[in-house]
Chain A
Amino acid sequence: MTGLLAIGLLIAASLAIGVYGVRAARTAPDFLVASRRVGTGRNAMAIAGEYVSAASVLGLAGLLLKNGIGTLWIAIGFTAGYVAVVALVAGPMRRSGAYTVPDFAEYRLGSPAIRKLCGAIVLVIMWLYLVPQFKGAGVVLQLVSGTPYWVGVVLAGVVVSGSIAVGGMRSATYVQAFHYLVKLVFIAVPAVYLMVHVGPEVRADALTPVGVPESWSRPLLDIENSGHPLLATWSMLLATTLGAIGLPHVIMRFHTSPSARAARRVGVIVIALLGLFYLFPAVYGLLGRVLTPHLVHSNATDTVAVVLPGEAVPGALGSVLTALVAAGAFAAFLSTSSGLLLALAGGLSHDLFGGRGLVGRLSRLRLAVAAGALVSVGLSLPAAHLDINMLVGWAFAVAASTFCPLLVLGIWWPRLTVRGAASGLVVGALTATGAALASALTEGHSGLVTVLLAQPASWTVPLAFATMIAVSLRGEPPAGAERAVLRLHAP
């Protein structure tokens, strides 16, 4: 009951701040300027708030409990992604004036056809990313209220698409900054309390876990004991670091900064905020190994962060701590999936089916939000047994194999051609999604094949880059390409 109350309060507070944010934005003559008045720190908090998803709040602790300490490389990769963003895309993307990847592709290559291709890839990435968020909502609601899994998923779809349709979330940088704080505090406070509460014996047990396979304490990531931990770790690092560059909802956020210079600086603060947050999920995984090892056998490790406080601390305080973590997880899910669903709806209504039509632009966007949410809910229902981080990892891998080469080469290499970009995008999208599908639907491969399918970035990213470069070198770059590139870097 306490958990439901906490989640209810969180949603109410988010709506209140959202309404306040919308009003603040509307009094200004220009919507854009309003967003640019937001200070650097708050802006960075909003970006971190949108970026830290259910994968970080629930998934990391769960995967650490299940697969071992090497899981933490995922969090490092998420953070390192922002170093790549700062170094490669933040400034130039801000200068380009393009809000989305399809926008950028059309700016840089001057081809409306490539906009449609990018729009389709946006859908793939966003759905891969949304499904685990909805799964997280379903699991958390099931834990705190006992409703069946599907109720939580459907409710999540209704809440998120409803709040976007009302229009509260878009302008509200405030809401997402608030959500970052909620996530940080609601994960950190119970974590610190638990560490102190469990006593020295449990703490020592957590550091020297018994009854785990030897590979559990190895500081590398492995997939189903395939025997190639270094390859799996590197592939995952490649996917998360380069994937952050290509995530459509990340790119949109550069425009809440007033200049390229500010966009880069905001990126640095985001790294600090992410690093601070990622100190805490490990606590749940490590203590969970001692206190709730049964979750591993019941294949419910994604729930450890919510289950653990109740098991470690008896009585009312335990339920309060559980409620805190549940509300934190819900904040993660709310802010991330709103951003994702908006990017998805934008791709659907603007890039793919834009242009003519009887329906107005706004109602088309609302229709796209509803359609996008409906498909996500439909995909999430049978996904209950898939690890949150596995799915998010695939979203990163597809982004790293498609939009990352497009943006990096588009920004730094004037010779990129339309044909080169298009073939690289197709190759990257087909190989990365194909590998993910094969990994999810088939079983019984040898160790090496398992890794190459489950963590495809190690071969799909180089392949996509190579395709773009090789095909581009055989053709002529579009007219004015040199000028367009220089303009992205002109201070």
Chain B
Amino acid sequence: MSGGRRVKVTSPQTRIALARRSRGVRGSLPLPGPADPQRAARVFREQRRAALRTVALLGLVLFGTSGLLAAAPAPADLTVSGLPLSWLVLMSATYPVLLVIAALHVRTAERIDARVPDPPAGERG
């Protein structure tokens, strides 16, 4: 036996829900809001824009590639070392593109998170 104490594990959310249930109180959640609402709102808007951009790009890649293959089937004789080009797109070429899209999104999202708040002049006393 190891000396470690066993701890009951509950998600923070479940804990709150259970506590509320046993108190018989309903209503808004006793969670603190963001420390700086203005900055949080700005971060939220920027993150939403970044997410929309990434999702649009993802849609373009997925639906664009398949749409292109449907509209203009690559000629059967178009091959890369014996492999038809269209097969290559499906077998391997799409994965690096997906990886790059995700990596770029993470970079953008982290930059938004890290940006030092710069409140407009005059709003802070």
* A contacts, CB < 8 Å to B: 23, 26-32, 69-70, 72-73, 76-77, 79-80, 82-84, 86-88, 91, 96-100, 103-104, 106-107, 110, 112, 115, 203-204, 207, 217-220, 229-230, 233-234, 237, 241, 255, 261, 264-265, 267-268, 271-272, 274-276, 278-279, 282, 350, 355, 412, 478-480, 483-487, 489-491
Contact of A27 among B2, B12, B28 (CB under 8 A): B2
- Contact indicator A265/B31 (Cβ below 8 Å): no
Report if B55 contacts A (CB, 8 A): yes
Contacts of A82 in B (CB 8 A): 98, 102
Contact A220 B69 (CB under 8 A): yes
Interfacial chain B residues near A483, Cβ < 8 Å: 31, 33-34, 37
In the bound complex, CA of A69 to CA of B40 (Å): 47
Contact B55 A84 (CB under 8 A): yes
- Name the one of B43, B70, B101 contacting A230, with C-beta atoms under 8 angstroms: B70
Closest residue of chain B to A481, judged by CB? Answer: B28
25 contacts between A and B (CB under 8 A): A26-B4, A27-B2, A27-B4, A76-B62, A82-B98, A82-B102, A84-B55, A96-B13, A115-B17, A217-B84, A241-B58, A264-B110, A268-B102, A271-B102, A275-B96, A275-B99, A350-B14, A412-B51, A478-B28, A483-B31, A483-B34, A486-B44, A487-B34, A489-B40, A489-B47
The interface on chain B, measured as residues whose beta carbon lies within 8 A of the other chain's beta carbons, has a size of 68
Option from A69, A73, A274, A486 in Cβ contact (under 8 Å) with B41: A486
User: Judging by beta carbons under 8 Å apart, are A107 and B62 in contact?
Assistant: no
Q: Give the distance to chain A from B13, nearest Cβ to Cβ, in Å.
A: 5
Specify which of A26, A73, A261 is in contact with B110 (CB 8 Å cutoff). Answer: A261
Taking CB atoms, residues of chain A closer than 8 Å to B58 are: 80, 83-84, 87, 241
Contacts of B9 in A (CB 8 A): 31-32
Q: Contact partner of A87 among B27, B51, B83, CB < 8 A?
A: B51
What is the CA–CA distance of A104 and B73 in the complex, to the nearest angstrom? 44
> Is B121 close to A, CB under 8 A?
no
Q: A26-B6, A486-B33 are in contact. List 12 more A-B contacts (CB 8 A).
A: A27-B2, A27-B3, A27-B4, A72-B90, A80-B61, A82-B98, A96-B13, A112-B21, A268-B103, A274-B95, A479-B28, A486-B40
Which residue of B3, B27, B69 has the most chain A CB atoms within 10 A of its CB atom? B69
A18 vs B8: C-alpha distance when bound (angstroms): 20
Residues B13-42 near A (CB distance < 8 A): 13-14, 17, 21, 26-29, 31-35, 37, 40-41
CB-CB < 8 A to A86: which residues of B? 54, 102, 105-106
Contact A267 B102 (CB under 8 A): yes
Please report whether the interface of chain B is mostly helix, strand, loop or mixed according to DSSP: helix
Complex CA–CA separation, A76 to B74 (angstroms): 19
Kindly state the separation between the CA atoms of A241 and B102 in the bound complex, as whole angstroms. Answer: 13
Q: 3 smallest A-B Cβ distances: which pairs?
A: A275-B95, A491-B113, A483-B33
* Interface presence of B75 (CB below 8 A): no
Instruction: Using CB atoms and an 8 Å cutoff, list the residues of chain B in contact with chain A.
Output: 2-7, 9, 11-14, 17, 21, 26-29, 31-35, 37, 40-41, 43-44, 47-48, 50-51, 54-55, 58, 61-63, 66-67, 69-70, 73-74, 76, 82-84, 86-87, 89-92, 94-96, 98-99, 101-103, 105-106, 109-110, 112-114
> How long is the Cα–Cα vector from A484 to B32 in the complex, in angstroms?
9
Contact (Cβ within 8 A) B82 A207? yes
A110 touches B73 (CB 8 A): no
**Nearest CB in chain B: distance from A235 CB, A:** 11
Contact A234–B66 (Cβ < 8 Å): yes
CA distance A480 to B17 in the complex (A): 16
Partner among B11, B66, B99 whose Cβ is within 8 Å of the Cβ of A99: B11
Measured between beta carbons, the chain B residues less than 8 angstroms from A489 are: 40, 43-44, 47
Interface centre among B37, B47, B62, B101 (most CB of A within 10 A): B62
In the complex, chain A residues whose CB is within 8 Å of the CB of B114: 491
Checking B5, B41, B70, B76 against A229 with a beta-carbon cut-off of 8 angstroms, the contacting residue is B70
CA separation between A215 and B94, bound complex, in Å?
Answer: 21
Given A88-B51, A486-B34, the answer on whether A73 and B90 have CB atoms closer than 8 Å is: yes
Residue on B nearest A282 in the bound complex, by CB: B91
Q: Which residues of B contact A77 (CB under 8 A)?
A: 62
**In contact, A490 and B40 (Cβ under 8 angstroms):** yes
Given the complex, which residues of A lie within 8 Å of B35, measured CB to CB? 490
In the complex, what residue of chain B is closest to A278 when comparing beta carbons? B95
The distance in angstroms between the C-alpha atoms of A469 and B99, with both chains bound, is 31
Q: Is the CB of A97 within 8 A of B11?
A: yes
Question: CA of A88 to CA of B54 in the docked complex: distance in angstroms?
Answer: 9
In the bound complex, how far is the Cα of B14 from the Cα of A237, in angstroms? 34
**A276 neighbours in B (Cβ, 8 Å):** 95
Q: How far is the CA of A31 from the CA of B8 in the complex (A)?
A: 8
CB distance from A292 to the nearest CB of B (A): 20
Q: How far is the CA of A31 from the CA of B11 in the complex (A)?
A: 12
In the bound complex, how far is the Cα of B101 from the Cα of A268, in angstroms?
A: 9
B109 touches A91 (CB 8 A): yes
- Quick one: closest B residue to A109, CB to CB? B29
**Docked complex Cα distance between A137 and B99 (Å):** 31
**A261 B99 Cβ-Cβ under 8 A:** no
In the assembled complex, the Cα of A274 lies from the Cα of B95 at a distance in Å of: 9
**A279 to B2 CA separation, bound complex (whole angstroms):** 44
Task: Find out whether the CB atom of B96 lies under 8 angstroms from the CB atom of A220.
Answer: no
Contact (A83, B87) CB under 8 Å given A28-B4, A88-B51, A491-B113: no
For the complex, give the distance between the alpha carbons of A218 and B87 in Å.
9
Which of A104, A115, A487 makes the CB contact (< 8 A) with B33?
Answer: A487
- Tell me whether B28 and A31 are in contact (CB under 8 A): no
Contact A72 B91 (CB under 8 A): yes
- Write the nearest CB–CB distance from A371 to chain B, whole angstroms: 21
